[in-house]
Structure 1
Amino acid sequence: MNRRHLLAAILAAAPIAAFADYPEKPITFIVPFAAGSATDQLARALGTAVTAEAKQPVVVDNKPGANAFIGAQAAAKAPKDGYTVFITTNTTHAANEHLFKKLPYDPVKDFEPVAMLSKGGQILVVNNNLPVNNVQDLVKLAKSKPGKLSFGYGSSSSRIAGEMFKQMTGTYIVSIPYRSNPPAVTDLIGGTIDMMITDMATGLPQVKGGKVKALGVSTAKRIPLAPEIPTIAEAGVKGYEISFWFAAYVPAGTPAPVVARLNDILAKANRSAAVTNFYAQSGFEALGGTPEDLRKFQTAESEKWRKIIAGAGIEKE
């Protein structure tokens, strides 16, 4: 090897060598939703697995509110060193750009994709005192009382699921925004709102605990965790189907060797007993792949959510 080739090889290896010991200190997971949300539960399960794999503690930092803008901004502005990881969903990285005229962050330019994590469906739940026992009952009641019923949402996925339901059933149900899904579920149990379509991890435990009634799931097929609950489509709203996904990102400009190492750590964590158990209890499906796979997936999902939002008749705010 001549001197020029030797120098080139040394320079190419230098960035990798510089980050060979990553991680050397605690890692922070920023979650743009409240404690108890599906994203929060996943982040904590992942954190446990990452700590075991990387031998460094993981701190989960919940920054809910403002349509997940707060968490996304904080993650985008974090140091580009791999010690702040954004555990998020299609809300921040595929839906928000089509729901709002202006975002305080750029879902593409401000972030470096790290890893796809999982995907899942949602569940339509209503207050126990609402005089309905199935989707058809709910539609009839809503049509008999236009503007009198309300649904809460604490994420773009939850919001769009509700708006799709309204559009496809020809009902007028008042939309009530929340900082995250857990506080909306609390109000649903208390009777402040009448219904919502939320993630399985947040809604299904309340159903099994008898605190709310489940009328349907948003997936194309029934979920193994609760096979007695019909899909919203088979319950009467033909063609209804919507799901969401989780993924990990870091600030744009984070060194490629760190991104590659994080991808490897998260891939192993995503197959751990703690995370696998969470998925099994929540009805989620594990995903995987390279950072480039996530980049391509996000592009395709952004277009998919653009069409869903347009089809639901939602205008940009």
Structure 2
Amino acid sequence: MTVSITRRLLLGAAMALGLAGAAAAEYPERPITLVIPFAAGGSTDVVGRIVADRMSQELGQQVIVQNVGGAGGSLGAGQVAKADPDGYTILMATVATHALNPLILKQKPYDPVADFAPISLLVLVPNVLAVNPELPVNSVQELIDLAKKEPLAYASSGNGTPLHLSGELFKAMAGIDVTHIPYKGSGPALTDVLGNQVPIIFDNLPSASSHIASGKLRALGVTTKERAPSFPDVPAIAETLPGYETYTWNALFAPAGTPPEVIERLSAAAKAAMADPAVAERMKDFSATIVASGPEELAEHVKAEMAKWEPVVRDANVSLD
């Protein structure tokens, strides 16, 4: 009797595993929704649409972009965290959704580690420190020297954004006190810096690049460890402040509990998409560096980013409701 029951249980388990394997092998059987947790038009949206289009070809099913803006990316990320873990709802995440918001928000809408299954770290996008040309500085060191002599202010796209915290990290490492002026987005911030209402800005390099190229802004340094290929004459801030490094990044996540076979299928499709020369050329347009990692590397990246930003957020006393 015991042998019969045991045999039945083993057969049932084997059948369940077989069905699960078959389901994973057939994935995807219908369109996939890629949630972009910001409004259309920004760099994350652009990256997402390029990747979604190419992944659609790899997967044989359409990857449909859905913009769910609000709460600095937390609204869309929270929606994906609660979605069915079947591989049909995935997230285009950033440093904001998976490092900064969890540290800054008083009410935590999700856990960036426990509530998500990593798929692939796609690209790194530099930020840039730039000034209005009327400010009498031509280098990072000259800006630091000036800030030690007279009060200055810098603009960013808003409180708690990666650009705000890029400025706070710069201040801490340079030993200077510069007033932060938050705006509701990069557009208004750029407008006031171009008009010299505020002399300094931390911005995404893609957003500021046309103004730098035209001479309306003077780029003092990019925030990545090395110079950006699109502006090779602009030094890295790290050349003056060793160890300084910030950037925006884009990565794909699924809800926690998504089958490993499905994660591997999505990760392989993402890597294939990023290896396409046409995609690589598009990424160059806004100085994005392609990474195309596996799930394990992305998981380690998130932990490292949270560890890096936690003291910056704490020391700057940044918190949002």
* Range of TM-score over shorter length: 0.7 to 0.9
Please report the TM-score for the alignment, with normalisation by the length of structure 1. 0.83
Give matches, 1:55-134, under 5 Å: 55-134=60-139
What do residues 118-173 of structure 1 show as CA deviations (whole Å, max 9, x unaligned)?
22432112234544433344335544542x52321356321211112222334333
Match of 1:28 in 2: 33
Contact 1:32-1:64 within 8 A present in 2 as well: yes
Alignment deviations for residues 87-146 of structure 1 (CA, whole Å, 9 cap, x no partner): 112222123333334322221222221112122432112234544433344335544542
- Report if the CA contact (8 A) 1:117-1:288 is conserved: yes
Once the two structures are TM-superposed, the CA of residue 245 in structure 1 deviates from its matched residue by 2.8
Structure 2 match to 1:247:
251
Partner letter of residue 162 of structure 2? S
RMSD: 2.9
The alpha-carbon deviation at position 80 of structure 1 amounts to 3.1
Aligned to 1:153: 157
State the match for 1:139 in structure 2.
144
Q: In structure 2, what is the Cα distance between the partners aligned to 1:182 and 1:84?
A: 30
- Residues in 2 aligned to 1:62 and 1:211: alpha-carbon distance in whole angstroms: 32
Q: 2:302 aligns with which of 294, 298, 305?
A: 298
- Aligned in 2, Cα 1:305/1:150: closer, same or farther, shift over 3 Å? closer
1:215 is matched with which residue?
220
Deviation at 1:4? 7.1
CA distance in 1, matches of 2:235, 2:258: 44
Among 264, 267, 270, the alignment partner of 1:266 is 270
| CA deviation string 1:45-101 (max 9, x = no partner) | 102211222233333333334332222223223343322221112222123333334
* Matched AA of 1:151: A
Change (3 A) 1:184 1:64: farther
Secondary structure of the 1:105 match is coil
**Alpha carbons of structure 1 residues 133 and 246: separation in structure 2 relative to 1, 3 Å:** same
Q: Output the CA distance in 1 between the equivalents of 2:90 and 2:184.
A: 21
The verdict on how the C-alpha distance between 1:164 and 1:70 changes in structure 2, with shifts beyond 3 A counting, is same
Q: Which runs of 5+ in 1 are unaligned?
A: none
Separation in 2, partners of 1:156, 1:77: 24
Q: Deviations over 1:256-315 (max 9, x none)?
A: 3332221121121121234311333333332234323322332233223324545xx222
2:316 aligned partner, one-letter code: I
State the alpha-carbon separation in 1 of the partners of residues 310 and 22 from structure 2: 42
Match of 1:314 among 308, 313, 316: 316
- Measure the CA separation in 2 of the matches of 1:8 and 1:289: 33
Larger radius of gyration: 2
Question: In 2, are the aligned partners of 1:95 and 1:302 still within 8 Å (CA)?
Answer: yes
Q: Which moved more, 1:19-28 or 1:265-274?
A: 19-28
Distance 1:205 1:91 in 2: 24
Q: Which moved more, 1:124-133 or 1:219-228?
A: 124-133
Q: 1:205 to 1:82 in 2, by over 3 A?
A: farther
Which segment is superposed worse, 131-140 or 277-286? 131-140
More divergent stretch after superposition (24-33 vs 102-111): 24-33
Q: In structure 2, do the counterparts of structure 1 residues 298 and 141 end up closer, same or farther at CA, with 3 Å as the change threshold?
A: same
CA distance in 2, matches of 1:255, 1:233: 41
- Secondary structure at the residue paired with 2:237? coil
Change (3 A) 1:275 1:134: same
Name 1:164's counterpart in structure 2.
Answer: 169
CA contact (8 A) 1:64 1:179 kept: no
Asked if 2 retains the 8 angstrom alpha-carbon contact of 1:152 and 1:193, the reply is: no
Q: What amino acid maps onto 2:58 in structure 1?
A: E
Q: Residue deviations 1:211-239, cap 9 Å, x none? A: 422111122332222111122243x4454
Query: Number of paired residues?
Result: 312
| Percent identity over paired residues | 38
Of residues 285-294 and 222-231 in structure 1, the stretch that sits farther from structure 2 once superposed is 285-294
Q: Tell me which amino acid in the other structure corresponds to 1:99.
A: I
| Matches of 1:18 and 1:220, distance apart in 2 | 43
Counterpart of 2:208 in structure 1 is 203
Which residue of 2 is the match for residue 282 of structure 1? 286
Instruction: State the secondary structure of the residue aligned to 1:278.
Output: helix
Q: What one-letter code is carried by the residue in structure 2 that aligns with 1:124?
A: L
